[in-house]
Structure 1
Amino acid sequence: MKQMKQTTRPPDQRPADVRNGAATAAPPPARARKRRRPASTQWAAWGFLAPVTLYLALFYAYPLYRNIDLSLRNYTVRSFVQGDAPFTGLANYRTVFDNPTFAPALLHTALFTAVCLVFQYAIGLALAVFFNQHFRLSATLRALFLVPWLLPLIVSASTWSWMLNTDSGVVNAALHALGIGPVDWLTSPSWSLTSVIIANIWIGVPFNLVVLYSGLQSIPAGLYEAAALDGAGAWRRFWSITFPLLRPVSAITLLLGLVYTLKVFDIIWIMTKGGPADSSTTFATWSYQLGFGNLLPAFGPGAAVGNLLVVAALVFGLVYVRVQRKQALS
């Protein structure tokens, strides 16, 4: 039998488009595909960044630098004008720490900030949950609750000073109608800090209400319906759905409230000026008293107290960023 020789042809290793008769040009290399951004686009980007950069440099970076420089030099009125203050290092900070007002001011600042944050957040959250029910006149009442937030601080503080006046205030008049004696809200060391805390809580509640109410709008209504079908009551739905899902919004609300409350000055100064006997003095009012409240201003120690507030706000801000990063990774 005659054996036929079979020849095997190597497989066609050409590209599929060439084998099918549709030869196309090879794609250009990666470097060739990259095109340089036009110069006009780059200039446009810098043009949009320039106003923000200039604003941050003029109103944040430079004032912070000047405040640090003030706290490290022995400035007087003369040297402040001429700019020849000697460098003293951390001497102004030691002066602040050794001052007998430091401990009470630190305690008052901590109490003022903590109590205001707790009550502002709790009342704001309760009102946000209440208005989230979308009943009739809900929008009108929400708008009315924004009035304390929209008023100038000097108007709000002056109004509370009149309301809490010992002799002619409406608060003491209401207490008298209930058979309670008058309270020296603004002139008693036992009540002055409480008075400014009440006023600041009233002013800060609308901000918490607005932010937390917007956070509630992002929670799907289907979760509440499913929980209700499972037999969960209103309190259970709040702790199992509302509060956990509102945690990111709550964190940023508390952080912004903390930064704002740390630097509150207008309300305290208008109502009590930090008195009587420094009973309502905080770091914000003490810094102003040191720098501008005396005939011989102490610019260095006043700037040092202000820097302590900056450091406190920065620490809490870094803690917030770290917690948010952990939550994002988990």
Structure 2
Amino acid sequence: MSPMKQTTHPPDHRSERAPAAAAPPRDSGAGTRRRPPSAQWAAWAFLAPVTLYLVLFYAYPLYRNIDLSLRHYTVRSFVQGDAPFTGIENYLTVFDDPAFAPALLHTVVFTAVCLVFQYAIGLALAVFFHQHFRLSATLRALFLVPWLLPLIVSASTWSWMLNSDSGVVNAFLNAFGVGPVNWLTSPDWSLTSVIIANIWIGVPFNLVVLYSGLQSIPAGLYEAAALDGANAWQRFWRITVPLLRPVSAITLLLGLIYTLKVFDIIWIMTRGGPADSSTTFATWSYQLGFGNLLPAFGPGAAVGNLLVVAALVFGLIYVRAQRKQALS
């Protein structure tokens, strides 16, 4: 009998114990944990007042104004809420109105002139008070008075000062041999009068914001420039203006939005007259909606929406410029 042939088999690796799979990492960070329901409710509770405020005082009035501009509202339909939908008819009515072009021109002139002078005077005063001389804080506080006064007080004061018969401005001019000027009753001077008053009111805001921006510029830059031989004018244009650009941008944007909607000053001083010589979109919108026996709610709302669109366009331009500056 032949011996049994002995065969060898390769080791069966399947019989070896496979290494244990790595255990999933333990969640040690709090960022991946789910918030408990109580924390979520607390977050919504803090957010609710702001959301409610924005909806009630911003979103809903804007929606109502857009709805007014797209319907034919009368006093009866305004109360009962059954105004027919007219689309863009109110906007076409506004564009075809003979008062549209003068109101647009006055709005552009009023806004541009006020912005330029408010910013220029505010920047000059901010640089002046940045020297930190004696009584600097006291004088800076006095310059805030026009900003702190109610607008009705400021407008009434300027109306009295610019009065043709008893105003102190004409009395001052008379002392130098200049005849009386009909500041508030002449079509040639009414727009100039409200521009002067609004510049006086807006300068303190520019002063405060620009002065805060100057405080953030390191003093060492001016010292190094002075050691390099730069004079005061060169230091202003090469250090102050470039480093103050972000603050200047937001100052001009806020000033633009405020100036576009100025109503109190113009209405109290001239009521948009005489002969609509100082009428802007803000006063024209009010006249259309509330200044007549038969109010035109739709066209008045349309004019107001044009102001909203103008402010929104400039706001988007500012945001786009800020993004480009951040990327560069």
Assess same fold via TM > 0.5: yes
Corresponding residue of 1:213: 211
Consecutive unaligned residues in structure 2, runs of 5 or more? 1-21
**Structure 2 residue matching 1:232: 3-state secondary structure:** coil
State the Cα RMSD in Å.
1.3
Q: Name the counterpart of 1:138.
A: 136
**For residue 237 of structure 2, what is the aligned residue in structure 1?**
239
Q: Which of 169, 174, 177 is equivalent to 2:175?
A: 177
Measure the CA separation in 1 of the matches of 2:34 and 2:105: 59
Q: Secondary structure of the residue that 1:274 maps to in structure 2? A: coil
Query: Within the alignment, does 1:168 sit opposite 2:166 as a pair?
Result: yes
Aligned to 1:323: 321
Following TM superposition, by how much is the alpha carbon of 1:285 offset from its aligned partner in structure 2, in angstroms? 0.1
- Deviation string 1:194-250 (CA, Å, 9 cap, x unpaired) is 000000000000000000000000000000000000010000000000000000000
Match of 2:253 in 1: 255
> What is aligned with 1:100?
98
Match runs of 1:248-327 below 5 Å: 248-327=246-325
Say yes or no: does 1:68 pair with 2:69.
no
Shift of 1:28: 2.1
Give the partner amino acid of 2:108.
Answer: A
**Residue of structure 2 in register with 1:126 after alignment:** 124
Distance 1:145 1:325 in 2: 34
User: How big is the shift at 1:29?
Assistant: 4.6
Q: Following the alignment from structure 1 to structure 2, what is the Cα–Cα distance between the partners of residues 245 and 207? A: 19
SS class of match (1:103):
helix
Identity of aligned residues (%): 89
Shift of residue 41, structure 1, vs aligned partner:
1.5
Q: Within 5 A, what are the aligned runs for 1:32-51?
A: 34-51=32-49
Q: Unaligned 5+ residue runs, structure 1?
A: 1-24
Q: Distance in 2 between matches of 1:59 and 1:146?
A: 29
For normalisation by structure 1, the TM-score amounts to 0.91
Once the 2 structures are TM-superposed, how far is the Cα of residue 26 of structure 1 from its aligned partner? Answer: 6.9
Q: Which amino acid aligns with 1:114?
A: A
Deviations 1:161-181 (A, max 9, x none): 000000000000000000000
Deviation at 1:278, TM superposition (A): 0.3
Q: Cα deviations across residues 69-99 of structure 1 (Å, max 9, x unaligned)?
A: 0000000000000000000000000000000
Paired with 2:134 and 2:104, the residues of 1 have a C-alpha distance of 46
